[in-house]
Amino acid sequence: MRSSIRRRLSGPAAMGAVLMAASPAIALPTVVSINLCADQLALALADRAQILAIGPLAADPALSAMHGEAAGMPTVRGTAEEVLRLAPDLVLSGAHQQRKTNALLERMGFRVMALPSPDDVEGVARMTVAVAEALGHGPRGRRLAAEMRAAFRVPAGPPTASALVWRPNGFVSGRGTLSDAGLAAAGLDNAAARAGIGAWGTMPLERLVARPPDLLLLEDYMAEKSSRAQALLVHPALARLSPPMRVAAVPTADWLCPGPWMAGAVGRLRDLAAEGRG
């Protein structure tokens, strides 16, 4: 998916974008993003010339799936004063994290698109298309949304193994979440959903040890032992379960923010499922 995003402007498509940008009648809107997840959507969907600034975390490979595209881009801390100075046509922000800034910018007359955090494939696809249309790239957004839907398509047949995505403090994603959809697309049975956990919940270490999954998945950045919450992820009891339980890491950057780049995480899960069958 990332390579697809990077290839989105080539050949005739690139020429078309140049011609559109050159025409004042159909000038594309400029944008400033003040939220990490919004940053990545801007980088995936907008032409580089449209982006006046993004947040500094967008270039962090541990947190951003679009860190390569973010390299060298101007950055802002996310204050209203910075946005006022840049005067973009559109501000991309988060619906929850920047509420006060969003309200202030709207009072100042800026068009603010405050993005939610959808936890289902269709919600992410709709958000991708909506942002693309606001940036003047509706077809681009629809194509990336279609590619993401295809990546999350569930294969025929029963799951080949059980898996659990385990986060700090034993936090897990149950039925109906993006993690659940990703596991299903890889042919894996979500052990959290099987244990009766709804959308969100916790899986205590004792419960995991009593009934371990075939595959325990840790997000690479979150698995670093830098807090008491994260220390649970590297508890010695886990080592005693492996084998037969396998432990593997998935890139935090591919899961942290909802977007079309999540297809990369699904691909990693499919590879891990295939390794288990081999």
Same domain, 198 and 127: no
pTM: 0.84
pLDDT in tens, 244-263: 899 888 888 998 999 999 99
Same domain, 192 and 136: no
CATH of the domain at 179: 3.40.50.1980
Domain contains 156? no
Domain contains 10? yes
pLDDT in tens, 95-126: 998 999 999 999 999 999 999 999 999 999 99
Same domain, 107 and 233: no
Residue 260's domain spans which residues?
Answer: 161-277
Angle at which helices 263-277 and 138-151 cross, to 10°? 20
Provide the strand spans (E) within the chain: 31-33, 51-53, 90-94, 112-115, 161-165, 171-173, 188-190, 200-202, 215-219, 246-250
Burial of 191 from C-beta contacts in 10 A (0-12 / 13-18 / 19+)? buried
Q: How far apart are CA 273 and CA 105, in angstroms?
A: 46
Q: How far apart are CA 99 and CA 53, in angstroms?
A: 19
| Final residue belonging to a domain, choices 90, 118, 151 | 151
Would strands 161-165 and 188-190 be described as parallel, antiparallel, or unpaired?
parallel
Q: What is the mean pLDDT of residues 129-140?
A: 98
